[in-house]
Each structure stands twice: as structure tokens, then as C-alpha cells.
Amino acid sequence: MRLTYFGGYSYDPRAACNGNTVHLVWWESYVHEEVFYKRSTDCGLTWSDSTMLSIEDTWSSTMPKIAVSGNSVHVVWAQQNYGLVYRRSTDGGSTWQNIDTLIPHLGYSSIQAFGDTVYVCGAGGSTSSLRFTKSTDSGSNWSPIMTITPASNSPTLRIIANDVTNIAISYGRYGEVYSVCSFDYGATWSDSQMVSESSIASQRPAMDTDDSGGIHISWYDYKYSPYSWTGDIFYRVSRDSGNTWEAIDSLTVSHRAVASDILAENNNLHLVWEDDRYDFNDNFEIFYRLSTDLGQTWGSEVRLTDTLNRSYCPSFACDGRYLHLFWYDLRDDTTNRIGEIYYKRKDLLMPVSEQGKNMVASPLRLEIYPNPFMGELRIRFLIQDIRYKIEDVSIKLFDVSGKAVRDYRIRHGIGGHIVIDAQELPCGVYFAEMIVNDIQEVNKAIKIE
């Protein structure tokens, strides 16, 4: 499902859940760079209009993070020339209070909420340090800022198990991934522990905690990669709140992976990442793996996106019934410059598991945009296996009854696009079919008013 329709670039989605309500933040780059919010109150089926949380001015607002506790929604982001700023809603996202400056001179942030207590940490900026503050009255007042350790980027803050006194932060520092914990509400902190232990740069740590005191961290680095800008996803777990750590596990072998996100629910670990293994031309897609025993073993890889343009920055949220996945990509942009936020969900109660499914790559690529469409529909196609380079491609558009309403024959090349005047077509569901050498690819499109 496409969630944004801005004229600029939509970046870096982050979400949090409370019951059936899913809260989403991201930032837009158009003439300005601003932070936006929307929510779904029915587990992701429908979504509200977008609300700008930042102030539209000359200062960039980027990299928002979100936490939810009951009806309180807490958002923190990086404000140019200010540092980390904070805004909250006390009525489930319906209205928002004034912006508050929290930690100056920082860029990267993370936020968590438990009852009336809100924890915020930040890293990087001019201080190159990991800094921390908290509020015990749901964001009205904040404790003095504490500097924990040197850090350059990408912190992730989580509460360990059900004990609010235990807090874990993973962060990047000078090309390695570290973990640091507090067991007294953030009053004091343990010594930093290096998690990645790599001689080559480790980047973009993601972290979650489980209900039994486990800390799960994923990241990517280049230690086994022959490529200069992609590597593999690595994983490490502590099952005793950071006291000891198991051996590092490599979860990919293609050496074409980058940013990941990880989420723990019950005994399951869900992992997503960007991967460039198919086209090797900056056409990253989102891949997924599931562990049903909290990281001891892992199921097969599942490819979740398949578009001609790159899919970026996957991010998880979970409400207990559904696993919600957000990312941004350029599938509806013919200029390959403007990305939007997309969404899909996984029903955690479904008896059929994605684990173990084999990925069969089709030699055909068929895309419809925009989707939903109104007066005009574009179909983009590509024969991506040279063994199927022929002179005859059939593309048809069918209505829901199976009647062909448009029929095209393309007799040259291995790719291109068709523009369809759909003004006279009634609203409803349509199916675009591409046939090459008896191989079929079908995509669904919806016409709206």
C-alpha cells in the first residue's frame, strides 16, 4: 500500500503501535525538509491524512523517531542548528503540543516510552557522543542531559524485558557497533561493549529486546565482501541483559546487503534488510528472515519487494496481531528521483509460515503506475533474462470479469512502457497481463474517481 503522495522525496519511515492504532512518522524533502505524521486506527487497513509536526521554515527537520504509551505519542527528530527536538500528543495523535528542544548539537536519536516515563538518547553531531535524558511525567519535564560514551551515529534504545529499570542502547562508534546498559532507570551506565568485533567498518546497528532479558542486534559490514559499498547482515544476541554475548552469526552470504531492522515478539525474531543481489545496479529490494527460537536458528530468505527502482530503509512495528513493515521506494516515479512511503503487513496468527518458501525469480518484470490510477495508466515492462529476448510481447488489460479492455503487441526490444487512456474505463479492479514465450506475469491495478 502506498501511504504518501508528496511532490518531493519521502524518507526514513518509523512506526509504533498501541492496540489497533499504528502511528507513523517520516520526513519529506521538497523545497523544505520537514517531519510528518499519520496514523491508522484499524491495524493498517486505512490511514489518516498527513500532519506536519515540524515548523516549515529554513531549518531542515529530519530523521524522526516515535514511541507510544497509551494515548501518549512521543516524537523526536533532528532540527538543523538546534539538535534533537521533541513533540507529543496526549490524545492518540489527534492534536499535538508545542515543540520542545531536548538535546542540543545532536543528529541521530532514539526514543522509548513505558507508562509515564519517556527515554531519549542521541548521538553524533558536534559532540560525537552518546547523550541521554528522560521524563517521568510523560514528556512535561526532562532530567539533566547525561553524556554516556563517545558515539558517532545510529543509536537504538530499548527497554529490556518487562523491567523498566533495565535499558539497553546499541550505537555506532568509529566503524564498530557497541552496546551499553543501565539497570537503574538510566542513572548509571555500564561500560561499553563492542558487539561487532570487525576489522572492517560495521554500520547501521538495529536492536530489539525480548521478554526474557535478551538483547538482539543486527548490523552490516564488509568483512567478507568483495564489494566496496555493500556487505552482509550480521547478528549477535545476549540472553542475560548484556552480561555475556553469544558468537556472531552471519545471516546473508550474497555480500550485497546494507541497512536492516530487527523486531522481537514472543519467541520470534523478524529481520528485514536491503539487498542488491539481483541487478547489481543500485536496485535494492527488501528481504526478510524469520527465527522462531529467538535467533538460535533462522528460516529461509523471503523477498518482499520487486520493483524496477530501489526499495530503501525497511522498518518494523508490531501490535501483537500484525507485523507492520514500512519502507520507501521509487516504483511510481518514472524519473527515478522521487520516493514515497509504502507499507505491507503480516498476520502473525496465520497458520501458513513464510519460512522455507523458495524464491523463484521471474524472467519478466511488469509494473503499473500510478496505482491506484485515475485518468491515465502507465505499464512498464522488462524482459530481465537475456534468454527471453524476442520480438513479440503481449500485454493486455482485463477487467474483473476477465474481459480484455486493452490489447497491445510490442514487436521490438526487451522493455519499455505503455500509456493507456483510462478516462472511459469504469472504476474498479483491473489486471495487467504480460506474456512472452508462454511465460505470464500479472499485476493488479485499481481505478478510482
Is 3 within a domain? Answer: no
- Are 330 and 394 within one domain? no
Helix, strand, or coil (residue 24): strand
Is 42 within a domain? Answer: yes
Last residue of a domain, one of 347, 373, 391: 347
Report the C-alpha gap between 339 and 318 in whole angstroms: 24
- Are 315 and 409 within one domain? no
Last residue of a domain, one of 347, 374, 404: 347
The pLDDT of residue 261 is: 97
Is 134 within a domain? Answer: yes
Domain count of the fold of the chain: 2
- Are 322 and 223 within one domain? yes
The pLDDT of residue 295 is: 96
Q: What is the pLDDT of residues 34-77, one digit of tens each?
A: 999 999 999 999 999 999 999 998 899 999 999 999 999 999 99
Q: What is the pLDDT of residues 319-333, one digit of tens each?
A: 999 999 999 988 877
Please state the rounded mean pLDDT for residues 398-410: 82
Please state the rounded mean pLDDT for residues 185-201: 87
User: What is the strand order of the sheet 146-150 is part of?
Assistant: 108-114, 117-123, 129-135, 146-150
Backbone angles phi, psi at 367, to 5 degrees: -130, 145
The pLDDT of residue 354 is: 37
Nearest to 395 by CA among 419, 373, 424: 419
Give residue 353's pLDDT band: very low, low, confident or very high (50, 70, 90). very low
Is 70 within a domain? Answer: yes
Backbone angles phi, psi at 123, to 5 degrees: -145, 165
Q: What is the pLDDT of residues 238-261, one digit of tens each?
A: 999 999 999 999 999 889 999 999
The pLDDT of residue 412 is: 58
Distant-in-sequence, close-in-space partners of 39: CB < 8 Å, separation ≥ 6: 21, 22, 23, 24, 47, 48, 92, 93
The pLDDT of residue 356 is: 39
Report the C-alpha gap between 167 and 164 in whole angstroms: 7
Q: Are 118 and 74 in contact (CB under 8 A)?
A: yes
CATH of the domain at 30: 2.120.10.10
* Average of per-residue pLDDT values in the chain: 87
Residue 419 domain boundaries: 364-447
- Are 243 and 389 within one domain? no
pTM, two decimals, is 0.78
In this predicted structure, the answer to whether residue 335 has a pLDDT above a threshold of 70 is: no
Is 353 within a domain? Answer: no
Q: Are 16 and 40 in contact (CB under 8 A)?
A: no
- Are 261 and 407 within one domain? no
CB environment 314-340: b (16+ within 10 A), e (fewer)? bbbbbbeebbbbbbbbbbbeeeeebbb
In this predicted structure, the answer to whether residue 25 has a pLDDT above a threshold of 90 is: yes
Q: What is the pLDDT of residues 290-301, one digit of tens each?
A: 999 999 999 999
CATH of the domain at 439: 2.60.40.3080
Give residue 360's pLDDT band: very low, low, confident or very high (50, 70, 90). very low
What is the 8-class DSSP label of residue 126? G
The CA-atom distances, in angstroms, between 18 and each of 21, 95, 151, 213, 305 are 5, 17, 31, 22, 27
Scan for cell 474481459, then name that residue: 403
- Are 309 and 425 within one domain? no
Please state the rounded mean pLDDT for residues 283-290: 92
In this predicted structure, the answer to whether residue 120 has a pLDDT above a threshold of 80 is: yes
Q: What is the pLDDT of residues 71-81, one digit of tens each?
A: 999 999 999 98
85 or 81, higher pLDDT: 85
Beta strands in 320-388 (DSSP E): 322-329, 340-347, 364-369, 376-383
